């Protein structure tokens, strides 16, 4: 049975006779090109968003590097404090009581200066800790912003999923996975900053303890110096009394005999000691 090539065309959706079907094909082609252009624009937009998120991740990496350097600086300051504390302990062990009041005052002044320096370093460490905490809060806010942006992208992809091609859908899923990986990296960086803050808090407690010990040592040194000065003043007063008595005795026992000369020599020694003791009165 012979079947003509045009058999069944009458039952098709398009009527392939005349010029009407060509117009419909042109409309379909234009609609397809329009949708393809929209999809291309959407792909370009998603690529730009990917680049922007990549820049945000680079900023986070730079911030993490800055925090790492801050941690190293804090550790160096702690080592310096330990060294200063050891020097102070050695000076406390080797210090004696046979010093003048001026030497005592100078030594106490130097130790008070060291204590003030420790207190300044401690305040600097607290300021760095506050900066790290603020940076941690900012990172948490950025993390929440990325989560919101990811949710928006997922909703947008869900809306376009019904009309996107299989290739675009796969590319969008890959972008979502990349965003999820970025969020995991941010979580890791956030945990590292939390550990840094915990370490700084431990170090701050240690510095507080060292500062209190230094202040106690300064107060103890002040007390010892006060006791020593009191004893020196008492000795000076007694020497002044002996000097007066020596003047009286020198007039009473002035003699050419050996006994007289010996007594005169002893009286001169007492007077000399009384002169040396006057600055401590």
Residues 202 and 246 in one domain: no
Residues 193 and 262 in one domain: no
Domain closes at, from 172, 197, 222: 222
Domain closes at, from 196, 222, 248: 222
Number of structural domains found in the chain: 2
pLDDT digit string (tens) for the chain, length 281 residues: 444 444 444 444 444 445 565 676 677 777 777 877 887 787 777 777 767 766 665 666 676 677 667 667 766 766 666 676 566 556 655 554 445 667 667 776 776 777 678 778 777 877 877 787 787 778 778 778 777 877 777 777 666 655 655 666 566 667 677 767 777 787 787 788 778 888 888 887 888 788 788 777 778 777 777 776 677 677 767 667 766 766 666 666 555 556 566 666 766 666 666 676 666 55
Contact predicate 53/182, CB 8 Å: yes
Structure tokens of 124? 């600097």
| SS3 category, 19 | coil
Residues 260 and 204 in one domain: no
What confidence score (pLDDT) does residue 167 get?
60
- In angstroms, the CA 266 to CA 253 distance is 12
Residues 24 and 154 in one domain: yes
Residue 139 lies in a domain: yes
Residue 7 lies in a domain: no
Residue 126 lies in a domain: yes
Residues 195 and 215 in one domain: yes
Residues 154 and 48 in one domain: yes
What confidence score (pLDDT) does residue 202 get?
83
Tell me the CATH number at 72. Answer: 1.10.287
DSSP string computed for 77-145: HHHHHHHHHHHHHHHHHH--S---HHHHHHHHHHHHHHHHHHHHHHHHHHHHHHHHHHHHHHHHHHHHH
Task: State if pTM tops 0.75.
Answer: no
Q: Give residue 68's domain range.
A: 12-86+100-222
| SS3 category, 61 | helix
């Amino acid at each position: 049975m012979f079947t003509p090539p045009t058999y069944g065309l009458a039952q098709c959706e398009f009527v392939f006779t005349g010029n009407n079907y060509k117009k419909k094909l042109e409309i379909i082609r234009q609609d397809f090109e329009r949708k393809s252009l929209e999809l291309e624009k959407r792909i370009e937009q998603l690529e730009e968003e990917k680049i922007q998120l990549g820049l945000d991740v680079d900023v986070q990496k730079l911030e993490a590097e800055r925090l790492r350097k801050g941690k190293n600086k804090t550790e160096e300051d702690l080592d310096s404090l330990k060294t200063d504390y050891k020097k102070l302990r050695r000076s406390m062990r080797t210090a004696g009581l046979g010093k003048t009041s001026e030497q005592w005052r100078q030594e106490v002044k130097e130790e008070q200066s060291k204590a003030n320096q420790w207190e300044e370093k401690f305040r600097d460490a607290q300021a760095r800790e506050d900066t790290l905490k603020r940076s941690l809060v900012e990172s948490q806010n950025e993390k929440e912003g990325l989560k919101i942006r990811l949710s928006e992208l997922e909703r947008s992809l869900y809306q376009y999923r019904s009309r996107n091609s299989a290739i675009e859908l796969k590319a969008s899923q890959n972008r979502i996975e990349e965003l999820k990986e970025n969020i995991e990296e941010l979580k890791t960086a956030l945990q590292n900053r939390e550990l840094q803050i915990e370490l700084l808090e431990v170090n701050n407690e240690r510095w507080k303890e060292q500062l209190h010990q230094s202040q106690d040592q300064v107060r103890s040194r002040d007390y010892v110096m006060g006791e020593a000065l009191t004893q020196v003043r008492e000795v000076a007063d007694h020497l002044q009394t002996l000097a007066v008595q020596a003047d009286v005795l020198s007039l009473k026992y002035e003699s050419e005999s050996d006994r007289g000369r010996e007594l005169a020599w002893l009286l001169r020694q007492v007077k000399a000691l009384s002169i040396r003791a006057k600055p401590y009165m």
